[in-house]
A = this chain, B = another copy of it.
Amino acid sequence: MKKAVCIISGGMDSALAAFRAKKDGNEIIALHFNYGQRTQKKELECFEKIADVLGAKKVVLDTSFIKNTSSSSLTDRTLHVRTSGLEEGVPNTYVPYRNGIFISIAASLAEKEGAQSLYLGVMEEDSSGYPDCTEDFIKKIEDAVNEGTKKETNIKIHTPLVHLTKSDIVKEALLLDVPLELTWSCYVNEDEACGVCDSCRLRLRGFKNANAVDKIPYVKN
């Protein structure tokens, strides 16, 4: 059976990408990163549940060195996570080259495990404007990965969501029975989602535009 390494953050996008990998006939190696992000505990819990539903082999890696290479509000609690609304430009939740780091580690794991594919939940449009979430970037890092691994290693990076909107994602996740109630998007809270950080706003807008109901708990305002 062919194998795919799926980076699963605990959010909706990577969960859907992993379900697509499963639907494509892959045995799933589910990879999660702990890097001292504010909602690390909740994200790990969601990862575990999603990976269990997928019947995946689980790999959890500590990449907390990221705190030292970034000045992101996701890992630095002295900074404020924006809750005032979505804007143009790269927000302070940006962790420099995070996907480059995560994809490189995933490629290393894929080579070790003999997996032919990586699946990622990156989306270019309707996202937070991070430069390491674009199709152009993925193409270039795929080239680098295949140049920098053994000759017999050939890894295809799948980004099935890259041109979807959040509402497309909600609709397709519902079609594929992805347990969205087990996913978490909030950048700030672990018990009740704040509803106002960029990630909550994108998620809520996605459900609204898909005419669907989000079953996770939100702070009552």
Size bracket, chain A contacts = 35 or more
In chain A between 19 and 38, which residues have their CB closer than 8 angstroms to a CB of chain B?
A: none
Q: Is the CB of B112 within 8 A of A144?
A: no
A61 at interface, CB cutoff 8 A: yes
How many of these chains are in the complex? 2
In chain A between 139 and 157, which residues have their CB closer than 8 angstroms to a CB of chain B?
A: 140-141, 143-145, 147-151
Taking CB atoms, residues of chain B closer than 8 Å to A100 are 104, 107-108, 144-145, 148-149
Taking CB atoms, residues of chain B closer than 8 Å to A90 are 150
A-B contact pairs, 28 of them (CB 8 A): A59-B68, A59-B69, A62-B62, A69-B105, A69-B109, A90-B150, A94-B150, A96-B111, A96-B149, A97-B111, A97-B145, A98-B108, A99-B148, A100-B104, A100-B145, A100-B148, A100-B149, A101-B104, A101-B108, A131-B147, A131-B148, A131-B150, A132-B148, A132-B149, A134-B148, A137-B144, A140-B143, A140-B144
